[in-house]
Amino acid sequence: MSTIPLDYESLRLIWWLLLGVLLIGFAIMGGRDLGVGTLLPFAARTDEERRLLLNLIGPTWEGNQVWLVLGGGAIFAAFPPLYAVSFSGFYLAMIVILLALILRPVGFKFRGKIEDARWRAIWDWGLFVGGFVPALIMGVAVGNVLLGAPFHFDDSMRIFYTGNFFQLLMPFALLAGLVSLGMIATHGATLIVGRTVGVMAERARTYGIWAGVATMALFALGGVWVAFMNGYVVTSAIDPNGPINPLGKTVDLVQGGWLSNYGTYPWMIAAPVIGFAGMALAVLGLMGRYRWLAYLGSSAGIFGIVATAGVSTFPFFLPSSTMPNAGLTLWDASSSHMTLFVMLLATLVFLPIVLIYTAWVFRVMRGTVSGENLTKNPNAY
């Protein structure tokens, strides 16, 4: 008899929620940095303005990156089959994201090494790529989750991925990428408006308003598209406490199938509502120059949009477009009962430490960033 105080089903659901928390945490915290990088060549026109934006995110971006590392680690330890399929099938896309992310620390360090306008312009565009590309491709990845990935298992449970990088760039996936890019750009704009002043803040305000409106329109279009596209639905009985067996279920493709959860669990409708309401508040906050309202609104919008993808696809993590019954769900892609429990104990210890440390850092780094800060701080970028 198991001595673990939580049953297998509960642990699986807890880890599904924790993975969502980590991914949303990165989208909000890391999205600040990606959004500022995306707006860098447009909101900032002079060298001093661009230095202000670099020093706005420079002291905290590494800490914000922890959420992405924790998310990848959680997938590796809690859901090994998902890790194996996604990190091998989407390998090239992930390499592109990593190469783009590498441009950020390199750009921070090398941009100021030479006082030459062309040299600095090159690194400014490198920092733009470091924000724009991850924001876009991560959204494309979510779009491909809804479309299903081309993978299957053989009789010995070996995984075979039959797609390629360019197959990821389907119209719906690109739409999801634009939604991601829009919400990240809006979030970056609210940060710039909230912590800078002058003409640069006004430019960011304008870009943020347009990005927020575009995000809402594209998110609505995506919802309509999902209503008419095929979704994956498990039609066989599910044992939430059963052993891992990705091939032990029956899956059907149903038009509008991704919307079925909203009928089964009506509370899930809160996710898209928060997504729309948050982005609307961000736009209103930017228009009315209410800095905190804009920032909190964009954070809520990101929460709602990312959560919408999660609750719509539940219990799927990654459906298979070539072998539907091989799609990975929460119930057949998790680690063992004991592994999930031990990991939960570690998480209960270390996640609060991360949250407390992050809150302390942002409290210390609060306030407006101005040209005076650049002259007073010898360590400024």
pLDDT along the chain (381 residues), means of 10: 78 95 94 94 90 87 88 91 88 91 90 88 93 95 93 85 85 96 97 90 95 97 95 90 86 92 94 97 95 95 97 94 92 92 92 88 81 69 73
pLDDT at position 380 is: 67
Cα 22 from Cα 29, distance rounded (Å):
10
Respond yes or no on whether the N-terminal peptide bond of residue 315 is cis (omega within 30° of 0): yes
Instruction: Please answer whether residues 210 and 173 qualify as being in contact, where contact means their C-beta atoms are separated by less than 8 angstroms.
Output: no
Token pair in block for residue 14: 């807890």
Question: pTM for this one?
Answer: 0.93
Give long-range contacts, CB 8 A cutoff, 24+ apart: 115-121: 117/47, 120/47, 120/50
The 10 Å CB-count burial string (b at 16+, else e) for 310-342 is: bbbbbbbbbbbbebbbbbbbbbbbbbebeebbe
Locate the domains of the chain by residue range.
Answer: 8-376
Closest by Cα among 33, 27, 70 to 347: 70
Token pair in block for residue 230: 């095929």
Max Cα-Cα span within the chain: 70
pLDDT at position 286 is: 96
pLDDT at position 1 is: 40
Instruction: Please answer whether residues 137 and 91 qualify as being in contact, where contact means their C-beta atoms are separated by less than 8 angstroms.
Output: no
Which residue stretches of the chain are H helix?
Answer: 8-25, 31-43, 47-57, 61-78, 80-89, 91-110, 117-147, 171-195, 199-228, 260-264, 270-287, 291-313, 337-364, 371-376
pLDDT at position 62 is: 84
